[in-house]
A = this chain, B = another copy of it.
Amino acid sequence: MDFPFSRIKGGVGAPQGFLTSAVSCGIKNPASDRLDLALIYSENPCSSAGTFTTNRVKAAPVRVSQSNLRKGDLRAIIANSGNANACTGVQGITDANAMCDAVAKPLGLKRSEIGVSSTGVIGLPMPMSRVEPKFESLIAGLGPKNGADVAAAIITSDTHPKEIAISFELGEQRVRIGGCVKGAGMISPSMATMLCFITTDANIPSESLRKSVLECVEESFNRITIDGDMSTNDTVFVLANGASGAPQIKRNSKECRKFREALCWVMLELAKAVVRDGERCTKFVTVKVVGAKTYLDAKKVAEAVCKSALVKASWNGGDPNWGRILHAVGYSRARIREELVDIHIGGKAACVGGLQSATPMDELRAAVAEPEFEILINLNQGNADYVMYSSDLSPEYIDFNRSEYAYWKQARKDGLV
């Protein structure tokens, strides 16, 4: 690691003073005993910040959480997988509020101190009859468990839980940041289809935290895309409880910059983990655009390349198809000149001045055969750059997403539709 942080065990439960719990409700499938309801709780009051999907269709828990977060004092997060509680109208809001109330009361908190998140199928009501009986054991289970239970309970089509924790010196004191994330499908910038929960025992006022969170999300979760579909449920929550005993971080201080750097690193690692575990993906591709006239030109090029179905299909096939990359550069609406564009794949020149390079095809194919590689696109027109993280698109992705009819059948059985 090229930074002064140490990796430590666990995720959202790793920072001091955070307790976690998770139980199985059978939200998606009553016959399953998979964890699907999770709780994060801070023993101390917290500063908090968050970001949410910019989709105009927002899931009920997003609307409720946006309202609750206003004061910046969230102290607990309740989250479920299996049902997104999206496109569920007034009933959805009622259910999301009920989830907040169910944990607020026994924990002695106000409803507005609870963040709520849901992820899963859209358009079907929450099967609250299966969730409600589990709140008691959820709360009873709270303990210092490092957070792996939460990471496991929030995943859907992810192949594995994704969490991370680090510690580092802040002034005289050691502080910790832990986080977990779920991703897999409906992943696109601004923001990704995902839930991400981050805890820290640093002591930072909510206004400074909010600023750091916005900057770090811009450099991490807003830089990834799997399928270009922006979700209704995307949520990032960050809770800071000060339990490390470290002094309060002052605005614009050296400590503030260091904390922000650490938070960004954690978010970027989690964002990359989402891409690496994208639905039925086989490649992790870093697309770096340099030499653009402006930041926005660089961004447009990166987004067009990362979202092109044909480019992504070629990555899936291990084909170093620079022609398709260049064609996406061309339709990006960025100001580019074909004859100036260089494309490097895995460090090898594939296209120079808009034309095929002299690099032997076998070398380019070897680069794309790797599970992770970088595409460097130099527009040779200026000094602006932008980086994004993307995946391939596989036949299996489409196959996997062909039908959610089974969920509807379960909802029908539950009397919800």
- Among residues 180 to 201 in chain A, which have CB atoms less than 8 Å away from a CB atom of chain B? 185-186, 188
Q: Are B122 and A404 in contact (CB-based, < 8 A)? A: no
- Among residues 388 to 412 in chain A, which have CB atoms less than 8 Å away from a CB atom of chain B? 393-399, 401-405, 408, 412
Q: A57-B326, A327-B231, A354-B87 are in contact. Are A402 and B317 (CB under 8 A)?
A: yes
Asked if A309 is at the interface (CB within 8 A of a chain B CB), the reply is: yes
Asked if A355 is at the interface (CB within 8 A of a chain B CB), the reply is: yes
Q: Which listed residue, B317, B319, B329, B356, touches A57 by the CB 8 Å rule? A: B329
Residues of B within 8 A of A355 (CB): 87-89
Asked if A21 is at the interface (CB within 8 A of a chain B CB), the reply is: no
Asked if A121 is at the interface (CB within 8 A of a chain B CB), the reply is: yes
Alpha-carbon separation in the docked complex, A311 to B264 (Å): 33
Asked if A302 is at the interface (CB within 8 A of a chain B CB), the reply is: no
Binary interface encoding of chain A residues 292-334 relative to chain B, with 1 for a CB under 8 A from any of its CBs, else 0: 0000000000000001111001101111011110111111100
Residues of B within 8 A of A10 (CB): none
Q: Which listed residue, B309, B314, B401, B408, touches A403 by the CB 8 Å rule? A: B314
Interface residues of A (CB under 8 A from B): 54-58, 86-89, 121-124, 185-186, 188, 227-232, 307-310, 313-314, 316-319, 321-324, 326-332, 336-339, 351, 353-356, 361, 365, 393-399, 401-405, 408, 412, 417
Q: Are B319 and A402 in contact (CB-based, < 8 A)? A: yes
For this complex, 10 residue pairs linking A to B, each with C-beta atoms less than 8 Å apart, are: A55-B330, A56-B331, A88-B355, A89-B353, A123-B321, A123-B356, A229-B310, A313-B398, A318-B402, A319-B402
Q: Are B338 and A87 in contact (CB-based, < 8 A)? A: yes
| Copies of this chain in the oligomer | 2
In angstroms, how far is the closest chain B Cβ from the Cβ of A227? 4
Closest to A316 in B: B402
Q: Are A87 and B326 in contact (CB-based, < 8 A)? A: yes
Q: Are A56 and B336 in contact (CB-based, < 8 A)? A: yes
In angstroms, how far is the closest chain B Cβ from the Cβ of A135? 26
Alpha-carbon separation in the docked complex, A324 to B231 (Å): 9
Residues of B within 8 A of A88 (CB): 355
Alpha-carbon separation in the docked complex, A331 to B52 (Å): 13
Residues of B within 8 A of A412 (CB): 361
In angstroms, how far is the closest chain B Cβ from the Cβ of A143? 36
Alpha-carbon separation in the docked complex, A361 to B313 (Å): 33
Closest to A121 in B: B323
Alpha-carbon separation in the docked complex, A166 to B404 (Å): 44
In angstroms, how far is the closest chain B Cβ from the Cβ of A168? 36
Residues of B within 8 A of A398 (CB): 309, 313, 316, 393-395, 397-398
Q: Are B228 and A309 in contact (CB-based, < 8 A)? A: yes
Alpha-carbon separation in the docked complex, A398 to B354 (Å): 26
Residues of B within 8 A of A185 (CB): 310
Alpha-carbon separation in the docked complex, A229 to B405 (Å): 29
Q: Which listed residue, B55, B310, B322, B331, touches A55 by the CB 8 Å rule? A: B331
Residues of B within 8 A of A307 (CB): 228
Residues of B within 8 A of A401 (CB): 309-310, 313-314, 317
Residues of B within 8 A of A331 (CB): 54-57, 188, 229-230
Q: Which listed residue, B89, B324, B353, touches A354 by the CB 8 Å rule? A: B89
Q: A317-B403, A328-B229, A403-B317 are in contact. Are A89 and B310 (CB under 8 A)?
A: no
Alpha-carbon separation in the docked complex, A245 to B394 (Å): 55
8 further A-B contacts with Cβ under 8 Å, apart from A56-B338, A57-B326, are A56-B329, A56-B331, A57-B330, A121-B323, A186-B310, A230-B330, A309-B309, A313-B402
In angstroms, how far is the closest chain B Cβ from the Cβ of A220? 19
Q: Are A323 and B54 in contact (CB-based, < 8 A)? A: no
In angstroms, how far is the closest chain B Cβ from the Cβ of A137? 30
